[in-house]
Structure 1
């Protein structure tokens, strides 16, 4: 596949990239989907909240998606990692880790986000099994159970009332100074939410199911599940390297159509939004693909004038 030309190169093969590939394939565009096969949601058992696919495993979701897309032969899947992008709109040059090179008119970054090291002893052992980051994705499975919430400050005051829709049996461990005002602490007390600011020594678990959170001051908080705020970075440095504008939170800045500040470069999915849900990512991918297709068609139409 070396030195082949594509209308669109999609970097990332999660829900955003796959749905974009489906739309573009149906629009008869020649597409390469380049993905290394290391999705962030591989740690989880199931994708939730995705109509007709609720509860499907991430790996099965991708398998089924690729099978559907294979009906459109203009879409190619490349198991590789992009390491450099040069050129401009209509004439991008892409190089991969394995030494492959591609020419492409347009680029769609669907690189998602990736976790920074978790930093709490025992958290990696339960992540994706009984410790999660999104109650919309996994709150139902932990409904009415005793939970520990690991976050602090403004994020905590957003998350506490949110999680209360799934369970009122939760304890907050801020793993250090809580970064709250007196009024915010009083609000938690009025809602009978225990609050501990001692650093977390470790999380004890058995076969991936958390049993208790142990704090440095010897406090032990029994629980059967955890929600925590992860430290995330964009799944690839390439968008920033080629000049894409980034938010303070590390997301790629796009307009309502997925366009970045660089002509011919788009982004969709978790890398371009804080709404980290599979169905939202797929929707963004579909919309960006339609806009890219329209741009390609208009450009080709104009060449015939």
Structure 2
């Protein structure tokens, strides 16, 4: 494997990387999937919104995906971490923490995003159990429950109407200045949404289930769940290291086909999109894999001509 020139090295084995591997394997391309086995969604117990897989655990989803991809012998999996990448289109060199070196014509970054450390006491204990970031993924499980939303500014005025489709029993904690205009505060008041801008002292819970949010001024807000806006960074520094442009939001900048500004380098999934859902990442992985396969085929076609 080390001496073979692969068609595509996929860095990251989440839904985007796995679906890309499936499509490329079926296209008879030689592929390696390098994944360190520490996905961001490891904290969650179930994956939702994925047709035919609704409610499956992230670990079981990956196991089943790898089993299906195993039918295509040109795809290999490496439980490792890519630590460096060099070279140019047609001849990239990827090195891993275990000292493996892979040569590949193309590279696909499906590295996802990762959370910055959670700086609210008690939040880590409930994250993935009763505190979530995506109502499309977990809103059903908290329907009609009293919730606390932790966010502020323009994001808040997007999130409040959204969460109201699952429950109208929610309060907002901005954990400091709310960054709202007077008109925006009045809008929340019209909808009878309690707004607290005092910093959060702690989140109290029992067995992972939120009981209350306690503010620095002693205010106690009883609740049964939370939604919050996480602080995210790209799951690997390698895209930036090889020269990929990064957007202000911290994502890898790609065109409609998943191409980065670096020839031969693509990106898919959460690392290159705001649509942080498993089914969206898988869909993007399949689409970008098709674009990569087309580029590889065209290059081979032209060499013969």
1:1-305 aligned within 5 A = 1-305=1-305
* Displacement of 1:184: 0.5
**Which segments of 5 or more consecutive residues in structure 2 lack a partner in the other structure?**
none
* Displacement of 1:191: 0.2
Number of residues of Structure 1 aligned to a counterpart in Structure 2: 305
* Displacement of 1:75: 0.2
Query: Which secondary structure state, in structure 2, belongs to the residue aligned with residue 34 of structure 1?
Result: strand
Query: Which secondary structure state, in structure 2, belongs to the residue aligned with residue 33 of structure 1?
Result: strand
Query: Which secondary structure state, in structure 1, belongs to the residue aligned with residue 304 of structure 2?
Result: coil
* Displacement of 1:4: 3.3
CA contact (8 A) 1:3 1:100 kept: no
Equivalent-residue separation in structure 1 for 2:278 and 2:267 (angstroms): 15
Equivalent-residue separation in structure 2 for 1:222 and 1:84 (angstroms): 48
CA contact (8 A) 1:147 1:169 kept: yes
Listed one character per residue, the Cα deviations across residues 214-259 of structure 1 (whole Å, up to 9, x for unaligned) are 0000000000000000000000001011110111000001111111
Q: TM-score, normalised by structure 1?
A: 0.99
**Which segments of 5 or more consecutive residues in structure 1 lack a partner in the other structure?**
none
Query: Which secondary structure state, in structure 2, belongs to the residue aligned with residue 303 of structure 1?
Result: helix
CA contact (8 A) 2:2 2:103 kept: no
Equivalent-residue separation in structure 1 for 2:4 and 2:149 (angstroms): 49
* Displacement of 1:5: 2.1
Equivalent-residue separation in structure 2 for 1:145 and 1:104 (angstroms): 50
* Displacement of 1:52: 0.4
* Displacement of 1:3: 3.4
Equivalent-residue separation in structure 1 for 2:83 and 2:4 (angstroms): 17
CA contact (8 A) 1:157 1:184 kept: yes
CA contact (8 A) 1:4 1:101 kept: no
Equivalent-residue separation in structure 1 for 2:85 and 2:122 (angstroms): 39
Listed one character per residue, the Cα deviations across residues 248-297 of structure 1 (whole Å, up to 9, x for unaligned) are 00000111111111110000000001110000000000000001001101
* Displacement of 1:171: 0.3
Q: TM-score, normalised by structure 2?
A: 0.99
